[in-house]
Amino acid sequence: MTIAEHVSHRTQVSRRDFIVGSAAALGGFSLGFHVPFGREAAAQDAVREINAWVVVNPDDTVVIRIARSEMGQGTLTGLAQLVAEELECDWSKVTTEYPTPGQNLARNRVWGSFATGGSRGIRDSHEYVRKGGAAARQMLIQAAANAWNVPASECRAENSVITHIPTGRTTTFGKVAAAAARLEPPQDPPLKDPKDWKIAGKPLKRLDTAAKLTGKQVYGIDLKLPGMLNAAIKACPVFGGKVRRFDAAAVQNMPGVKRVVQVGDNAVAVVADTWWRAKTALDALPIEWDEGPNANVSSATIAEMLRAGLDADDAVVGNQRGDVRAALAAAAKRVEAVYSYPFQNHATMEPMNATAVWTPDRCEVWTPTQNGEAALAATAEAAGLPPSKCDVHKLHLGGGFGRRGAVHDWVHQVVAIAKQMPGTPVKLIWSREEDMLHGRYHPVTQCKLVGGLDAHGNLTALHMRISGQSIVAGIFPQNIQNGRDPVVFQGLNPGGAEAAFGYTIPNLLIDHAMRNTHVPPGFWRGVNLNHNAIYLECFMDELAHAAGVDPLEFRRRLMANHPRHLAVLNAVAERAGWGKPAPAGVHRGLAQIMGFGSYVAACAEVSVSDDGVLKIHRIVAATDPGHAVNPQQIEAQVEGSFVYGLSAALYGECTVANGRIEQENFDTYQVMRIDEMPAVETIVMPSGGFWGGVGEPTIAVAAPAVLNAIFAATGKRIRDLPLKNHDLRKA
């Protein structure tokens, strides 16, 4: 393939501006390579890089660099708003681009982290991206002041125009960009007070919509490189199993087939001219697996192991106060319940995919990823090359939800395939079945809760024992210390800015008995907050009913020391009309939690027909994220979070038989569709002073609010999901 073809291709996927082709420089390997953006690049006519975050072109268009990944959550637009706010540029002239992780490496990580998970895209980077915008503005103003020979303090920037206030002279960003790029960047420029924001904080439309309406948006699965072949793959359906043998000759002569290759010790891929031909041949390929000892594991054996953890002695304490055992022994009334939560697949609409070109000197990968730097590390490891000789080109994600961040198994695979065909670009696409069978699943847990009430119906003691999988143990085992996975206590921590418990209970014990399975866990949108909120908030509802106290009032008694938790709960109760009559047949349920730095609550309104059909009519949801960068995008995230949370509550369940996941496609792994979607009323109530995330927290209140409303409607306590497994007819 020629350099020109590559350059042309990359222009199409907006990797323009910083590609210089040179076969000689790459020892004959004819991929374009990347020149750091530094001063040399800025001196070129075509590009005016003011700093790492901001490029201003002579026509006044502004390119804002975005390190985090866009997967639908709107981070790209939100981060651009924050930079543009400080830059004082014309928002209508803003476009964005992704730097590559290789460029980040070459420039001493000037863009910081590329990780896009944990609802951290904005809250972890808002300060330095705003400073990037502010520094660029100061440099542009200084360049204009220098040209006019006046003090910069007499000049002001607004809407990409710089004005010298005393004389009224004006110039534009584009005209002074080249000079500005040569100036020394200011250190630590001051930032605006959010109350003065004009672009950030406003409900602006997304920057990335137009191409998504016409089919022009290029996702990873759409990528085409000259001379590219396509690969379909099957890994041993039993996790931990291996390839014993396969009969390549049986499919070698099928249409389009180029190669049949083993990938690692557990997978086989067919490489063909088209993906459909690769998949057709793969389906016909005789493969014999060595399934190993995990072939005996089933949902029942996993549940049994978790159940044993509910009363085991080897638990790690996450939150403790007073003497729970003594208080429970002295309680006027004890309430006890056991809950559980099943495996879930992320089921991103775009299945895992990546394209790779490998030579002995260099490896490049194009892939939708939530963490470009982790994808680069996976590329380098699989390629057997140093990261400096690799790069990853990020493409927009057709959904991420945590599947495309911490583990890049598909990147390892595509590089392993490409390595067997040096110089040939290979695109690997997982079938939906492969995607369902080889997920990184929402962890399974069970939870035993015991509460003690005094004679007045006050909660005096609560013991919450979680038994089950640790995501951290599965993905970053080096981060487990003394058996402790701190993330399992999400939403239950005694304090902190991330995910603090919202009740003050005199005697409290929350502990975790780690019980891992061979099914690999992953960070599934909402993570551990999802089940923790169900366990806590459904049991609070049980306790309230046992105490004969209104569930809102019962909670309020415990929340005096938690004003932000209480404020969102009060907001949904008031908006939903808690305490006032609901429409005939409609019943309400409440839930609140803190996670990902934000405070959230929901009130669900449901009805259950005589024949047990559930209808979720309305959800009122409140979020206090501290600062709201784009309120209409927060609304979109909150609405979407209920689709994700309620899909899990209604249908989501990956079961295990003979060591493998039983659900292979959307026919058996059903998700919510438009006909089941409730009205969602979103209350965004930023109270200032902190930065919380919005992509995940409200998922966690979806299921408990609905389950509590179902109890109100039917008197039935559902303690294990999904709801499809339950008969909701009144007892």
Partner 1 sequence: MARLNVNGSIVDVDVEPDTPLLWVLREQIGLTGTKYGCGIAQCGACTVHVDGVATRSCALPVSALTEDQKIVTIEGLSPDGSHPVQRAWAELDVPQCGYCQAGMIMAAAALLKDNPRPTDADIDVEITNICRCGTYNRVRAAIKLAANGGRTG
Show contacts with partner 1 in window 178-207 (CB under 8 A).
205-206
Which alpha helices (H) appear in 490-630, and where do they start and end? 529-547, 551-556, 563-576
Site string for partner 1, 642-681 (x = CB under 8 A): xxx--x-----------------xxx---xxxxx-x-xx-
- Applying CB under 8 A, among 14, 159, 171, 217 the residue interacting with partner 1 is 217
CB 354 within 8 A of CB 417: no
- Applying CB under 8 A, among 401, 441, 523, 711 the residue interacting with partner 1 is 401
Question: Using the rule CB under 8 A, is 167 a contact of partner 1?
Answer: no
Site string for partner 1, 473-492 (x = CB under 8 A): --------------------
- What is the C-alpha to C-alpha distance for residues 161 and 144, in angstroms, rounded to an integer? 10
- Applying CB under 8 A, among 182, 224, 724, 729 the residue interacting with partner 1 is 224
Could you tell me which of 95, 170, 181 has the C-alpha nearest to residue 135?
A: 181
Measured from the CB of residue 613, what is the shortest distance to partner 1 in angstroms? 14
Nearest-5° Cα angle at 459, 456 to 461: 130
- What is the torsion angle, in degrees rounded to the nearest 10, for the CA atoms of residue 468, residue 473, residue 479 and residue 481? 50
* Closer residue to partner 1, CB minimum distance, 103 or 345: 345
- Applying CB under 8 A, among 128, 197, 276, 690 the residue interacting with partner 1 is 276
Question: Using the rule CB under 8 A, is 8 a contact of partner 1?
Answer: no
Show contacts with partner 1 in window 455-474 (CB under 8 A).
none
Backbone angles phi, psi at 162, to 5 degrees: -105, 130
DSSP-derived 3-state class of residue 261: strand
**Two structure tokens written together for 610:** 């005589």
- What is the torsion angle, in degrees rounded to the nearest 10, for the CA atoms of residue 3, residue 6, residue 12 and residue 13? -130
- How many chain residues touch partner 1 (CB under 8 A)? 62
Measured from the CB of residue 679, what is the shortest distance to partner 1 in angstroms? 7
- Applying CB under 8 A, among 429, 462, 601, 701 the residue interacting with partner 1 is 429
End-to-end CA distance of the chain: 69
Measured from the CB of residue 695, what is the shortest distance to partner 1 in angstroms? 10
Measured from the CB of residue 713, what is the shortest distance to partner 1 in angstroms? 22
Question: Using the rule CB under 8 A, is 210 a contact of partner 1?
Answer: yes
Could you tell me which of 112, 122, 110 has the C-alpha nearest to residue 51?
A: 110
Q: Identify the H or E element spanning 513.
A: strand 507-514
DSSP-derived 3-state class of residue 572: helix
Q: Which stretch binds partner 1 (CB under 8 A): 50-58, 163-171, 311-319, 345-353?
A: 345-353
3-state helix, strand, coil split of the chain in percent (to 5) is 35, 25, 45
Question: Using the rule CB under 8 A, is 244 a contact of partner 1?
Answer: no
DSSP-derived 3-state class of residue 96: strand
Show contacts with partner 1 in window 74-93 (CB under 8 A).
74
Q: What is the DSSP string of 104-124?
A: HHHTTSTT------TT-TTTT
Measured from the CB of residue 213, what is the shortest distance to partner 1 in angstroms? 5
* Closer residue to partner 1, CB minimum distance, 38 or 640: 640
Question: Using the rule CB under 8 A, is 13 a contact of partner 1?
Answer: no
Question: Using the rule CB under 8 A, is 609 a contact of partner 1?
Answer: no
Q: Which letter, b or e, does each residue of 242-265 get, where b requires 16 or more Cβ atoms within 10 Å of its Cβ?
A: bbeebebeebeebebbbbbbbbee
Q: Which stretch binds partner 1 (CB under 8 A): 57-65, 211-219, 544-552, 715-723?
A: 211-219
Measured from the CB of residue 222, what is the shortest distance to partner 1 in angstroms? 4
- Given the rule CB under 8 A, which residues bind partner 1? 71-74, 205-206, 208-219, 221-222, 224, 230, 255, 274-277, 280, 347-351, 396-401, 429, 431-432, 632, 636, 639-644, 647, 665-667, 671-675, 677, 679-680
